[in-house]
Amino acid sequence: MYKYDQYDQAMVDARVEEFRDQVRRRIAGKMDDDQFKPLRLKNGLYLQLHAYMLRVAIPYGTLNSRQMRALADIARKYDRGYGHFTTRQNIQYNWIKLAEAPDILADLAKVEMHAIQTSGESIRNISADQYAGAAADELIDPRPWCEVIRQMTTFMPEFSYLPRKFKICVIASKEDRAALRWHDFALRIVKNAGSEIGFEVYAGGGMGRTPFIAYKIRDFLPTGQILSYLQAVLRVWNRNARRDNIHKQRMKILVHDLGQEEFTRQVEAEFEHFLSLGQDFPQAEYDRVAAYFDPPPFEQGLSDELDLSDPAFARWVRHQVIAHKAPGYAIANISLKPAGGIPGDISAEQMDLVADLAETYSFDELRATHAQNLVLPHVRKADLYAVWQALVEAGLADSNLDLVTDIIACPGLDYCSLANARSIPIAQKIAERFADAERQADLGELKIKISGCINACGHHHAGNIGILGVDRKGSESYQLLLGGSGDENTTQAKIAGPGFDEDGIVDAVERTVEHYRAVREPDERFIDTYRRVGMDGFKEAIYG
């Protein structure tokens, strides 16, 4: 994986010291909150419901065991013994003290991590397929491109005062595991008729108050022209964006106001201009970065045989293990969705264990997924049983990937100061209702996503079943949505009807699921059935 060079390290170290001084001045009363807030947000430090919250970037979701251990140490030393993985491949700490925040950033810098651009109107942590570099179906590893874009954009003035936050995603397979078209700007690596590698480009996606699925704005962009193209996109947005209304400043609003054609036309015109400046990085620069992502030294001649005589292990393999591109290897998913747990939460001890497993069994690599789970990307099939046993011991061996209990839920009213309703208890109640493993397996792929407010951090717009918490005259109420997806057939979920209270929403989910069971055809996933039969039958089943 990418290693900081002396410039990267010096920049991050300098930012830590700068922030240390700013915190000192704030605590000494030399700055008020209005002056200090933008400074702390530049370093990922929010003020949430109960304490300061620090959001740490995990670029494209990749980290090594040393970094994971540092994250565990931070949880132990400065927080309350746990961390929370989010839907944008970041980790959040909920109980940070202001005076200690600079020390945390210093500890992060020692392992080449930081919290820059995890807040504010910046290019946020770039997300990618969590199986990058390992997936059997990918064209090339998309992460070098993420890293190149990250390096090119991090401190570039044109990108540091954007109208609004800007989220980028890069994948390299047909199957979309990263919710590509829900991003402001997204790239899918493809091959053209001449077998050249390039990008299919999407723009204008995003959730929140005004959800939009990104349009495709280009079929093929030669990879080497990405910086010019990205600059063109941002220039068109910067020039046209409304800066008078915070709800209308995201790029998705502009793209959909102008329309796909006009937006694309303006981008292409700018693109010609940027190309003529010849500022794109040289191939050698890409090669330098890409070398850090060379495949690990996979052993040759390994067997693909697996002993599945232990039924619990067999179930885990069936649900959690995915095909790898190297023979004899597999991708192992670690569920952070134990029954009754908090989606995405992990204790310091569990982080240490996962780090150990990565070091021993996965070429020192780990991934965080947008579904708030973790991944060991390169495990020898022969080692899967040992990995599973260790996970069982640590309470991390749930076999529910993409099943009804693998719920994405934002922190909601339990932690977030913007929330209208709690999300986590709803996730817990649904998980308890569907705890039976046989029933879960019978239902098959079913993605439930819950947000505690319209901002959609829990991706309810992309839920096969989405749940949105709203405030109804001072009490929590929950809307049910159906038919959303974040995969290669991206769709936006639609509201089914009036909202429910806390227990009512769980019953409504159950009625939804039972209707699916009643009308599904063999091998049909929930989303396929919904697409085939439409909303009406579901509505009838839910509301009677």
Partner 1 sequence: MKIVTGNDLKTGAVTWWTGYDWSIHVEDAVDAGDEADAIMAREAAACRVNNPYAIDGERDADGKVRPAHIKDRVRALGPTVRPDLTLKPADPEARDWVI
Q: Name the nearest CA neighbour of 99 among 158, 175, 23, 40.
A: 23
Q: Name the nearest CA neighbour of 431 among 450, 458, 460, 405.
A: 405
User: 48-87 mask for ligand HEM (x: CB under 6 A)?
Assistant: x----x--------------------------------xx
**Region binding ligand HEM by CB under 6 A among candidate stretches 17-25, 143-151, 412-420, 425-433:** 412-420
Which listed option, ligand HEM, ligand SF4, partner 1, none, makes contact with residue 422 (CB within 5 to 8 Å by class)?
partner 1
User: 401-420 mask for partner 1 (x: CB under 8 A)?
Assistant: ------------xxx---x-
Nearer to ligand HEM, 320 or 451 (CB): 451
Q: Does 463 bind ligand SF4 (CB under 6 A)?
A: no
Q: Name the nearest CA neighbour of 413 among 455, 364, 354, 356.
A: 455
Q: At what angle do helices 260-277 and 251-258 cross, to 10 degrees?
A: 110
Could you tell me the end-to-end alpha-carbon distance of the chain, in angstroms, rounded to an integer? 54
Which listed option, ligand SF4, partner 1, ligand HEM, none, makes contact with residue 452 (CB within 5 to 8 Å by class)?
ligand SF4
Cα distance between residue 254 and residue 464, in whole Å: 27
Q: Does 425 bind partner 1 (CB under 8 A)?
A: yes
Give the Cβ contact number of residue 150 at 10 Å.
20
Q: Does 44 bind ligand SF4 (CB under 6 A)?
A: no
User: 72-91 mask for partner 1 (x: CB under 8 A)?
Assistant: --------x-----------
Backbone angles phi and psi of 127, in degrees to 5: -100, 160
Q: Does 32 bind partner 1 (CB under 8 A)?
A: yes
Q: Does 457 bind ligand HEM (CB under 6 A)?
A: yes
Subset of residues 473 to 512 that bind partner 1, contact rule: CB under 8 A = 474-476
Least distance from partner 1 to the Cβ atom of residue 13, Å: 25
Q: Does 407 bind ligand HEM (CB under 6 A)?
A: no
- Size of the chain, expressed as the number of residues it contains: 544
Cα distance between residue 449 and residue 486, in whole Å: 11
User: 372-411 mask for ligand SF4 (x: CB under 6 A)?
Assistant: --------------------------------------xx
Least distance from partner 1 to the Cβ atom of residue 169, Å: 30
Q: Which two tokens stand for residue 464?
A: 């096969």
**Region binding partner 1 by CB under 8 A among candidate stretches 106-114, 129-137, 169-177, 470-478:** 470-478
Subset of residues 341 to 360 that bind partner 1, contact rule: CB under 8 A = 342
Long-range pairs, 238-247, Cβ under 8 A, ≥24: 238/158, 238/162, 238/163, 240/266, 241/163, 241/164, 242/163, 243/163, 246/164, 247/209, 247/210
Angle CA 287–292–297, to nearest 5: 115
Q: Is the dihedral of CA 381, 386, 387, 391 positive or negative?
A: positive
Residues of this chain that bind ligand HEM (CB under 6 A): 46, 48, 53, 86-88, 92, 182, 206-208, 250, 410-411, 415-416, 418, 455-457
